[in-house]
A and B are shown apart, each in its own frame.
Chain A
Amino acid sequence: MKILTTVKNVVDVELNIHVENGAIVEEGLQYVINAWDESAVETAVQLKENNNAETTLVSVGGGEDNTKMIRRGYAMGIESGIQIDDAALAEGDSFVYAKVLQKVYEKGDYDLVITGKQAQDTDNGQTGIILAEYLGLPCVSNVIAIEVIDDQHIKVSRLGDAGTEIVELELPAVVTVDVSINEPRLPQMRSIMMAKKKPIDVMDLAALGTSHDEIGGATLKSEVVEFMAPEKREGGQKFEGDAAEITAQVVGLLANEAKVL
């Protein structure tokens, strides 16, 4: 079984994100692997370890952060990595990325695509599903367990509205996984050192056999118009002391200051 896993580099949402003039301030930000994609990688590696799957990882985007992310995938146990690095990809949305991934899929001979169900930067949750649509493959989203039945079939559990749904799928297929599917391993020194030596297959759009126009880069279906910082919440007021006094005080404030009574 050949598995393609997609990984996205996202801003570390543990950090304070500042907005100035409708744009995010880049200074001081750091980028990390999307948590859902990290789970996707772990899923792929476990399938490699337990079911002899072959694993490939793809990252769309250039730069050192993306390279580091692929190396992290290697250190976790992924066997080969593809980096799509093209200046034309600076602007894009889920449709564009899904199109690029479609091209990557078509260049290989994959049985299963595993993506994170969403990314913590935009929280769109679209790319994997659109990719399945482009490829005409069955897709199960929000997957929390995968079991291999045979070379052609897998059984997955997904978190549905009413509870856990168990779905049998014929391969090839696309699944998007939830973070609860596993606890991604933390690569240790030995794996990290070995990962440093592995080659990465870096391609631009031309090498991938496509173009800015074909992937829809020139006619984006959605665009970010402006970033706005959420309004800061004022700190609440704490009342301590005698219950009767406090009640009177609070009622007074609600009536006179908040004017809700």
Chain B
Amino acid sequence: MNPLLMSLLIIVALTVFGRTMVRKIQLLKALEPVDRADHLKERLENIVILAIGQKRLVGRAKERSSGIMHAFIFWGFCILLIRSLNLYGEGFQEGYHLPFLGGDDLLGYLYIALKDIMEGIVLLMIIFAIFRRAVLKPERIHNTFEAYLVLAMIGTLMVSDLLYDGARYNLIQLYNNPGSILYFNNPQYGSEFLWTPVSKGAAALISGLSAEANAAIRVIMFWLHICTQLTFLNLLPLGKHFHVITALPNVFLKSLGYPHEKPKLLDLEDEAAWEEESLGINHIHQLNWKQGLDLYTCTECGRCKEVCPTYITDKPLNLHDFNDSLKLELLENVDNTIKRARLSAAIKQSENAGQIEKIKEEISALNSKKQLIGEVIAEDTLWACTTCRACEEVCPVTIEHVPRIIAMRQGQTLMAEAYPKELNTALKGLERNGNPWGIGYDKRADWAEGLDVKIMADDPDVDYLFWVGCAGSFDDRSKKVSTSLVRILKKAGISFAILGVEEKCTGDFARRAGNEMMFQMMAQENIETLNNYNVKKIITACPHCLNTLKHEYPQMGGNYEVIHHAEFIHRLVEEGKIRLKQTAEGALTYHDPCYLGRYNDIFDQPRSIIKSVSKGGFKELKRHGRESFCCGAGGGRMWMEETIGKRINLERSEEIVAQQVSSVAVGCPFCLTMIEDGMKDLEKEETIKTMDIAELVEKNMA
């Protein structure tokens, strides 16, 4: 149309965009390193399923309408991009099209049809989106000017393209193509307008106008489309719609193998790390680049807070604001962070001690003026998290909230020695007696008295180690679960032993509370004991122990096959070593423990067991499976009072009560305590029994 104007627009837009992006990338590069260059195939699969497939948007029943809306806008947008390339070409050469998309190819016709229909759908979706924001006002979203602006721009892109085509149609069909516009016309496929019903509709709207007016509309709509698109491109990185650019890379670069980035094994002996205060996250520049990309990508959709047990129960942790505060702090420190990275690189190259000292001083002057914890994120906010991962499971762009929170807690505990002091009792118990209750370590195997359970020290020649865990060893209620499991294992003829007094807490809660020192102390001693007995296979009834033994001990040289008892019992049933009877009275339900379900993908086996023993059927809770609701005890919260808002276990217990079941099954000692306490608070402990899977099986096996 106008090669000069087109060139100018493209050059200006791409220059501005390029400068913005270089800055954004520089900032990411200045953040801490993390390796995400592995498993290309899996990463591409994630792109296909999560990003292109929009799995977490359309896949959730609760969010289906907004999910479908977003998915169509996204797909429509992707499809329109190809058309846009054609239009840029048309700026230089009338009738330009990409290869295979012209009038000689069927593909050209198919594409133009798809594009046309998608534009119509996107327009409808935009109208729905505006209606939803303005009228329905879902609680999770914030209504911002930016949101409306972006919707308006996408709408403009669609309308301008449709009117452009409409005017073209009118000029060709009504006015004998006065400007000799090139269009698809094929003896076999017919005219392109046979394939574009929506454009034809647009054409009808302006068919009453003169040929000149139609010609003018065509030109205006062309440039409006181009200008809107280039402006849109430049607006994206400035706000939450940056996700349009970063979401795909963010999904591509997500953690694999474990649901999120594992807590880093910190080198606590590294004196330089203490001096530089580089353990954990205490400053915004200590985020790693993927965590920075997460912040770029957060779309502030609020799905995270909507499923967050703390937000629902009125705690101060609101992940939407949490991300937003971190993003603002990161962006406020762009210059200093980039400068710091340059200086750090300079230190590595310098050999002059005096110069190094000088650079170090310069670096410490570059710290953010704000305390990360206290000023950017409030203490209560940081410590509210139960690490349940519900937020991560629903995040459409796979943002990892929990590792960041744990790293910040590490920074607080290790560097600032600022952590909730109410944890001290449990930590001291760990230090002295290897359990958070602080009960004498020599009493650890007392529960097994009279059960004729082998101790590793006496007979290490067994197939399985039964890792009892602190709750199973010391908590009166959970001891019954240990007993039930022992009876099941014996009945199935499994050769197993326990460690007895040699077992210690795995260190799970200490690590989640940021106390890496205590975690490593526990892990080191346990791994020494386990390796000493050459333990290969471990059965445990505690998902927290399971998670730590299975995923975190390998960081310190402990590699074992770890099996949760629900999984193991399920296997025993399948192998016919145990026969279940449908003798459990009343309807049963199941509360998914976070560290068993979301962390370790065990959802089906417990359900299969419960269904096999239940006489009155199985009822699913409203929030279940991947979107199960935490009991409130994870992340060290078991050892802290819950003083703000409603108690999480109460919220969950009420949900269970509403299901009118006679028993709720759990697979975690913390859940057992929390749910049973909730039932007591609701005075329902007599009518709704809280039972572990093992107890249920022991009572209902032939």
Partner of A16, one of B421, B440, B517: B440
| A185-B439 Cα distance, complex, nearest whole Å | 20
Partner of A32, one of B274, B417, B432, B443: B432
CB of B268 closer than 8 Å to a CB of A: yes
Task: Please state if A14 and B424 are interface contacts (CB–CB under 8 Å).
Answer: no
Chain B, Cβ-Cβ closest to A190 = B274
Task: Please state if B442 and A189 are interface contacts (CB–CB under 8 Å).
Answer: no
* Cβ contacts under 8 Å, B415 to chain A: 190
* Cβ contacts under 8 Å, A170 to chain B: none
The total of Cβ contacts below 8 Å across the A-B interface reads 46
CB of A207 closer than 8 Å to a CB of B: no
CB of B413 closer than 8 Å to a CB of A: yes
| A30-B274 Cα distance, complex, nearest whole Å | 31
* Cβ contacts under 8 Å, B439 to chain A: 14
| A188-B268 Cα distance, complex, nearest whole Å | 11
* Cβ contacts under 8 Å, B440 to chain A: 12, 14-16
Task: Please state if A189 and B433 are interface contacts (CB–CB under 8 Å).
Answer: no
Q: How far is the CB of B412 from chain A (nearest CB, A)?
A: 10
Q: How far is the CB of B522 from chain A (nearest CB, A)?
A: 14
- Name the residue in B442, B515, B517 with the highest tally of chain A Cβ atoms < 10 Å from its Cβ: B442
Task: Please state if A183 and B432 are interface contacts (CB–CB under 8 Å).
Answer: no
CB of B427 closer than 8 Å to a CB of A: yes
Partner of A183, one of B268, B424, B441, B443: B424
Task: Please state if B438 and A183 are interface contacts (CB–CB under 8 Å).
Answer: no
Task: Please state if B417 and A14 are interface contacts (CB–CB under 8 Å).
Answer: no
Task: Please state if A190 and B414 are interface contacts (CB–CB under 8 Å).
Answer: yes
Q: Mark B401-434, 1 if CB is under 8 A from A, else 0.
A: 0000000000001110100010010011001110
Q: Mark A172-201, 1 if CB is under 8 A from B, else 0.
A: 000000000001011011111100000000
| A137-B427 Cα distance, complex, nearest whole Å | 38
Partner of A189, one of B424, B438, B501, B517: B517
* Cβ contacts under 8 Å, B413 to chain A: 188
* Cβ contacts under 8 Å, B438 to chain A: 14
Task: Please state if B432 and A14 are interface contacts (CB–CB under 8 Å).
Answer: yes
| Contacts A32-B432, A189-B268, A189-B517 given; does A16 touch B442 at CB 8 Å | yes
Q: Mark A24-64, 1 if CB is under 8 A from B, else 0.
A: 00001010100000000000000000000000000000000
Task: Please state if A30 and B432 are interface contacts (CB–CB under 8 Å).
Answer: yes
* Cβ contacts under 8 Å, B501 to chain A: 28
Q: Mark A193-228, 1 if CB is under 8 A from B, else 0.
A: 100000000000000000000000000000000000
Task: Please state if B414 and A189 are interface contacts (CB–CB under 8 Å).
Answer: yes
Task: Please state if B414 and A188 are interface contacts (CB–CB under 8 Å).
Answer: yes
Chain B, Cβ-Cβ closest to A29 = B442
* Cβ contacts under 8 Å, B421 to chain A: 183, 185
* Cβ contacts under 8 Å, A186 to chain B: 424, 427-428, 431
Task: Please state if B443 and A12 are interface contacts (CB–CB under 8 Å).
Answer: no
* Cβ contacts under 8 Å, B417 to chain A: 188, 190-191
Q: How far is the CB of A235 from chain B (nearest CB, A)?
A: 13
* Cβ contacts under 8 Å, B428 to chain A: 186
* Cβ contacts under 8 Å, A185 to chain B: 421, 424
| A193-B271 Cα distance, complex, nearest whole Å | 9
Chain B, Cβ-Cβ closest to A191 = B417
Q: How far is the CB of A182 from chain B (nearest CB, A)?
A: 11
Task: Please state if A12 and B432 are interface contacts (CB–CB under 8 Å).
Answer: yes
Partner of A193, one of B274, B432, B515: B274
Chain A, Cβ-Cβ closest to B279 = A189
Q: How far is the CB of A65 from chain B (nearest CB, A)?
A: 12
Task: Please state if A28 and B414 are interface contacts (CB–CB under 8 Å).
Answer: no
Q: Which of A1-22 contact B (CB under 8 A)?
A: 12, 14-16
Q: How far is the CB of A179 from chain B (nearest CB, A)?
A: 13
| A193-B270 Cα distance, complex, nearest whole Å | 11
Chain B, Cβ-Cβ closest to A18 = B442
Chain B, Cβ-Cβ closest to A13 = B440
| A90-B424 Cα distance, complex, nearest whole Å | 33
| Contacts A30-B432, A183-B421 given; does A16 touch B414 at CB 8 Å | no
Chain A, Cβ-Cβ closest to B517 = A189
Q: How far is the CB of A198 from chain B (nearest CB, A)?
A: 16
Q: Which of B440-455 contact A (CB under 8 A)?
A: 440-443
Q: Which of A110-167 contact B (CB under 8 A)?
A: none
| A52-B271 Cα distance, complex, nearest whole Å | 29
| A188-B416 Cα distance, complex, nearest whole Å | 10
| Contacts A12-B440, A28-B442, A183-B424 given; does A188 touch B433 at CB 8 Å | no
* Cβ contacts under 8 Å, B433 to chain A: 12, 14-15
Residues of B whose CB lies within 8 Å of any CB of A are 268, 271, 274, 413-415, 417, 421, 424, 427-428, 431-433, 438-443, 501, 515-517
Sample of 11 A–B contacts (CB below 8 Å) = A12-B432, A15-B441, A15-B443, A16-B440, A16-B443, A28-B442, A183-B421, A188-B517, A190-B274, A190-B414, A193-B274
**Known A12-B432, A14-B433, A16-B442; further 14 A-B contacts with Cβ < 8 A:** A12-B433, A12-B440, A14-B440, A15-B441, A15-B443, A30-B441, A32-B432, A186-B424, A186-B427, A186-B431, A188-B414, A188-B417, A190-B414, A193-B271
The 7 closest A-B pairs by CB, nearest first: A14-B440, A15-B440, A189-B517, A186-B424, A188-B417, A15-B442, A16-B442
